[in-house]
Amino acid sequence: MEEKAFLTKVSMGVLRATLITIALVIIFAIIMTFTDVSNQFLSVYYLVTTCLSVVYGAIYAARKNNKNGWLVGILVALLYMLLIFIASAVLFNNVSFGLTEFLRITIAVVVGALSGMLGINI
């Protein structure tokens, strides 16, 4: 029963991270209708969006779980990135995995672990 509760809390963290991502992407889409945005800014914006989403999801899940914050944060980050990868593959028919994607996943995992630890201690 404890494992099911653990996975439910992690899933809720991933869901909340996804909702934050959707909100930030909608805001960015509105901004892009009025201004011209460079590719470099676009890449930075997606990285910041990913980090903010993982931070929120990991803190939420770690606070609900109340132990193993680093593990909860890593799982939220990995599942979130898997969900983003699947969504981009389905939407854009792009299934490439290179250095950029590896770095983005690594950053998300580190941010998730740190945010999970923070979620336990606040």
* Amino acid identity, position 8: T
State the pLDDT at residue 91: 86
State the pLDDT at residue 39: 80
**C-alpha distance from residue 5 to each of 10, 28, 48, 53, 117 (Å):** 9, 35, 30, 22, 19
DSSP 77-92: HHHHHHHHHHHHHHHH
The vertex-90 CA angle with 89 and 95, nearest 5°, equals 20
State the pLDDT at residue 1: 58
State the pLDDT at residue 72: 93
Q: Residue written as tokens 């950053």?
A: 107
Q: What is the pLDDT along the chain (122 residues), one digit of tens a residue?
A: 578 888 899 999 999 999 999 999 999 989 888 888 888 888 889 899 999 999 999 999 999 988 888 999 999 999 999 999 998 888 888 777 789 889 999 999 999 999 999 988 88
Buried-state track 40-64, b at ≥16 Cβ within 10 A, e below 16: eeeeebbeebbbebbbbbbbbbbbb
The answer to pTM > 0.75 is yes
